[in-house]
Amino acid sequence: MIDITLLRSDPESVRENIRKKFQHQKLPLVDEALSLDSRRRALQQEGDTLRASRNTLSKQVGALMREKKREEAETVKAQVTANAERLAAVEAETAEVESKLKAVMMRIPNIISKDTPIGKDDSENVERQRFLEPKTPEFEVPYHLDILEKLAGIDIDSARRTSGQGFYYLTGDIARLHSAVLAYARDFMIGKGFTYVIPPFMIRSDVVSGVMSFEEMDGMMYKIEGEDLYLIGTSEHSMIGRFMNTTLDEKQLPLTLTSYSPCFRKEKGAHGIEERGIYRIHQFEKQEMIVICKPEESESWYEKMWQYTVELFVSMEIPVRQLECCSGDLADLKYRSCDVEAWSPRQQKYFEVGSCSNLTDAQARRLGIRYKGEGGTKYAHTLNNTVVAPPRMLIAFLENHLRADGSVYIPEVLRPYMGGQKEIVPKK
């Protein structure tokens, strides 16, 4: 949610930002917000006047009663009653207008970075850097599900019977590899000075509406029937929600946190979950990183965070690239975002394995996350980034470390988490 003072002082810049995001249908929101803000301020002024008048008239009533001027006192009392009735109506309308204004403001997208490329969708994202040279083996790389099945590492048929499309059982060495990567990612981030957290996996609706846009919520979140609870789509949701309506001490910042959680997603929309395999699924596990910091620090943290993900993948000997997300590919709360994509030898292209975002103060405004220091009380900046999400990472891992005989090489950094195992060999 953007600062209302920006909307008042420079509404055209807000409109231009909406145009850059190719969300022209949201342009009327600017005038709607300005109109509601104007009405709110008028009501607040009238309310202040009525309250001041009430105090003055109450004193007059007391003075007149002491002077035995009962008729005049009754006249003033009648005015006090009328003012009280009007004040109640003004306060009720103010609450209604404020609620409407907040709803409109929450639909206006955050101002994007000047470094964000302008484009309509993810096809216009811009590659910035590559890390490790992509390799193409001399043998044909099978589809990842075929690799998993030959390693006796997955059971999709049983999962369809127990849970439906978009679920799977991981088994044996692959299940161990999955856990090994998460444990390695946890220790990797702790080594970077981050505090490890396991958060709640369900959150209330006020947290959901604070951490994401309504469009994202509808397309992602599973609601618990009969409860004001949603399953999290990523640990960022409950991690940021932890600080809702909190004023931090400036000395506490930056807060650097890394969290583990299962993630639950509808995967509603054009992509869906029909693709055979584990690229898009309803349930997965992820290691995340969260930073809450002062505004002047958020851009440097953004650069550090995506580079940590790159460093992690490079340490596992998986080639990756950084892709800057264009304006049309940014969710409404994002100021700037980039994807880390891993190389797929089978497809001969990169695919997304993580995403890093700087939300500036947009998320903090929705949730009421502030900090207090010598310069007064300000809204904090929030950032989030995927350390690793094993389902997609497993695809990249298997394709990049597959050998011609069907075995899979385990990089040195993961061997301590695999009991010293150096490879996974086919069982079928």
Domain ranges of the chain: 4-105, 122-424
Contact 122, 325 (CB under 8 A): yes
Q: Indicate the fold that domain 4-105 takes in CATH.
A: Helix Hairpins (1.10.287)
- The Cα–Cα gap between 159 and 108 comes to 41
pTM: 0.89
Sign of CA dihedral 286, 292, 296, 297: negative
Q: pLDDT 10s digit of each residue in the chain, 428 long?
A: 899 999 999 999 999 999 999 999 999 999 999 999 999 999 999 999 988 887 788 777 677 777 777 777 778 777 878 888 899 999 999 999 999 999 999 999 999 999 999 999 999 999 999 999 998 999 999 999 999 999 999 999 999 999 988 899 999 999 999 999 999 999 999 999 999 999 999 999 999 988 887 667 777 889 999 999 999 999 999 999 999 999 999 999 999 999 999 999 887 544 544 456 787 888 999 999 999 999 999 999 999 999 999 999 999 999 999 999 999 999 999 999 999 999 999 999 999 999 999 999 999 999 999 999 988 999 999 999 999 998 889 999 999 999 999 999 999 999 999 999 999 999 86
Using CA atoms, how far residue 121 sits from 24, 112, 196, 296, in Å, is 14, 15, 34, 29
Contact 249, 371 (CB under 8 A): yes
Phi/psi at 260 (5° precision): -105, 145
Domain 122-424 in CATH 3.30.930.10? The answer is yes
Contact 55, 79 (CB under 8 A): no
* Residue pointed to by tokens 């969260």: 290
Question: How far separated are the first and last CA of the chain, in Å rounded?
Answer: 54
Longest dimension (CA), the chain: 107
Same fold, 4-105 and 122-424: no
- The Cα–Cα gap between 108 and 103 comes to 9
